[in-house]
Each structure stands twice: as structure tokens, then as C-alpha cells.
Amino acid sequence: MPAFSIIVPAYNMQDHLEEALESIAGQTFTNFEAIVVDDGSTDATGVIAKRFCAMDSRFRYLRRQNGGLSAARNSGTSVAVGTYIYYLDSDDIIDTGALSTCYRELTNQKIDVVLFEGEVFPIDSPMYRLEADYFQRPVGNSPLWSDDFIIESLRQGRYCVQVCCFVARRSAIGDLRFIEGMVFEDNHFFVSLLLEKKLRVSVLHDKLYKRRLRSGSIMFSARTLHHYDSMDRLVRELSDLSFSALKSPERATIKKEIVGNALSDLHFASSLVGPNISLRKRNVAAMWRVATHVSPRLFTPKRLLLALVPELYRLKTDAWLHR
């Protein structure tokens, strides 16, 4: 049985998939399986993946009808047999010592999740300044409990939900899956994994993950109504989580902060889509829902103003980008 199952969802990624797979094949720790999930690609992605699998028995190819990133990850998870699960996007790469470093943490201590840092490339990307500092982990004691990790992440402004920046025991993931049909799925998966039950986590400051900045990627593509709908659902899904790993009163405080941040992102998303009367009403409705389900303190005059006039977010962002 392999120690790691590395799940690589791929959709029309012929230009970058080979580099991603080579970064896996070149790992100094060799006891792994890599499951390449072709999400109905229409370019040469499948050809590249099949060729890699034919050359290296540790790689296997799985094709499915196009269903999006979450569905592809879930398909890979359902057939994974490794003790530990790692998700790598097909346009990114990992450091050659990533698995060795994580395995050392997982086997030397009773650890459920190893969280590490990442870096972005190329440095000349227009989005480099926005993303360069995102993939950081909080400074402090390690290992620690997952609830304490989240508290410190928020306190230090180092709250990174990217699933490509951690490895988890398959037993810790259990039946948890990514919500299909939506983007921003990492947010819900991250919180569900670490705050629905207490887990023992190890925090590393090694930059083991290399994120490629692409103008055509999900994160940097033009926002559509689908992005807004996804964020709207995320707010609802986060509101419904128990956050049971946290004790009171920290539970109420942390849930309010995480859901409140998602609510702000929803309003910002509406500004990118192009707010009309319908979206402004939905912004207010989302505010009312979190106020009644999470905390009435999330319904404030400032939030109401931004829900009704989300264009104010764009003014702030544009000013920052042109500094």
C-alpha cells in the first residue's frame, strides 16, 4: 500500500500538466500513487497523462465526464488507497522533498495534518503582489490542535485555505468531500476538516508548494454569476457548520470571523460581476441569513452599505493595485 495518494485533477491543461507530473515523479520519497483525474479534457491532456502512466506504474489515469474541480478531486479521493492524501492542481508543482518532509512529520509524531507554505511564480505576473504573501502559516508552537491553529492563523493574518498546502491522513478526511458544482471549494473543505473535529496538526514554514499564476485560471478569470452563486452557497454552507472543535466562547468568535469574511467576499464578488438590483437584494438577504444563523453583529450599517453599494470594494482594490 502506498504511503501517499496524490490526486491531480486536470482539465485542458496540456501546456502545464507534464511539469506538474514531473515534479511528482521526481520526489525523493518514492512510495506514492499519483491519480491523474482527466475531467473530460478536449485537448491533449489525456494523451500526456496516459503517456506518463505508461512510463511509471505509480501513476494511474482516471477519466470522467466534465464536472469541475471538486468532482474531479472527489473521484480521485474515492479510489485512493494511500495512508495520506495530497491534492495538487495540474498547473502547479511541488518541491522535490515535499513528500519526504511531510512523511517525517507524520510518522515521527501523532499528526493528522501537515500544513506547509507555498510561493507563487512567475514574479512578473500582474497578480504577483496580491498573491505573494498569501501562502504563509502562523508562527508559533508546533504541533498543536487544529482549533488553536485556526485561531493563530486568523490572529496573525495567515489564514491560507489552499488544499495544495497540506497533507492529511485519509482517515482524518473520512467521508468529507469537496462541494461539487461550485468554485472556492477549498474554503469549506479546509474549515470542515480542521474545525468539525479536533485534529493534531504540524505547521511547517517550508515553501513546498509552487503555485503558477495564470490569467486563465479559476482564481484570476473574470467573475461571472457562477462565481457569485458559489460564494453565496459558501456563505450558507459555512454558516451551517458546527465548528465543534472549538470551545465556547472561541467558537462563536471564530465562526463569526470566518463567515463574516466570506460574506465580505460575497459582496466583493458582486462588484466584480456587475451589481444589479437582484444581486444587491441577494447581498442583503445573505447578510440577514448570517445575522440570524451566526451572529446579529454581522448585520452592521457598514456591511449594509457595502451590500447595497459593492462598487466601493472596487475603488479600494483599484487604489491598492495602482500604488
- Going by C-alpha positions, the residue among 54, 72, 78 that lies closest to residue 5 is 78
pLDDT at 315: 66
Q: Which three cell numbers stand for residue 114?
A: 501537515
The answer on 89 and 208 residing in a single domain is yes
Domain boundary among 168, 188, 212: 212
The answer on 188 and 103 residing in a single domain is yes
Q: Is residue 301 part of a domain?
A: yes
Domain boundary among 184, 212, 240: 212
pLDDT at 219: 44
The answer on 153 and 52 residing in a single domain is yes
Q: Is residue 218 part of a domain?
A: no
The answer on 166 and 103 residing in a single domain is yes
* Ramachandran sector of residue 226 (left: φ over 0; alpha: ψ -120 to 50; beta: rest): alpha
Q: Is residue 137 part of a domain?
A: yes
The answer on 185 and 47 residing in a single domain is yes
β 84-87/166-169 pair status: antiparallel
pLDDT at 207: 97
The single residue listed with the C-alpha cell 495530497 is: 86
Q: Is residue 105 part of a domain?
A: yes
The answer on 107 and 186 residing in a single domain is yes
Which three-class secondary structure state does DSSP give residue 284?
A: helix
Q: Is residue 229 part of a domain?
A: yes
Q: Which three cell numbers stand for residue 263?
A: 460574506
Q: Is residue 111 part of a domain?
A: yes
Domain boundary among 160, 185, 212: 212
Q: How far apart are CA 30 and CA 77, in angstroms?
A: 20
pLDDT at 323: 47
> Domain span at residue 78?
4-212
| Other residues' Cβ atoms within 10 Å of the Cβ of residue 95 | 20
β 113-121/59-63 pair status: unpaired
The answer on 192 and 309 residing in a single domain is no
- Whether the CB-CB separation of 37 and 79 falls below 8 Å is answered with no
Q: Digits of tens for pLDDT over the chain (323 positions)? A: 999 999 999 999 999 999 999 999 999 999 999 999 999 999 999 999 999 999 999 999 999 999 999 999 999 999 999 999 999 999 999 999 999 999 999 998 899 999 999 999 876 666 677 777 899 999 999 999 999 999 999 999 999 999 999 999 999 999 999 999 999 999 999 999 999 999 999 999 999 999 998 665 444 446 789 999 999 999 999 999 999 999 999 999 999 999 999 999 999 999 989 889 999 999 999 999 999 999 999 999 999 999 999 998 866 555 444 44
Phi, psi at residue 87, to the nearest 5°?
A: -110, 125
Domains in the chain, number: 2
The answer on 256 and 191 residing in a single domain is no
The single residue listed with the C-alpha cell 515523479 is: 25
Q: Is residue 219 part of a domain?
A: no
For residue 17, the domain's CATH number is 3.90.550.10
Which three-class secondary structure state does DSSP give residue 29?
A: coil
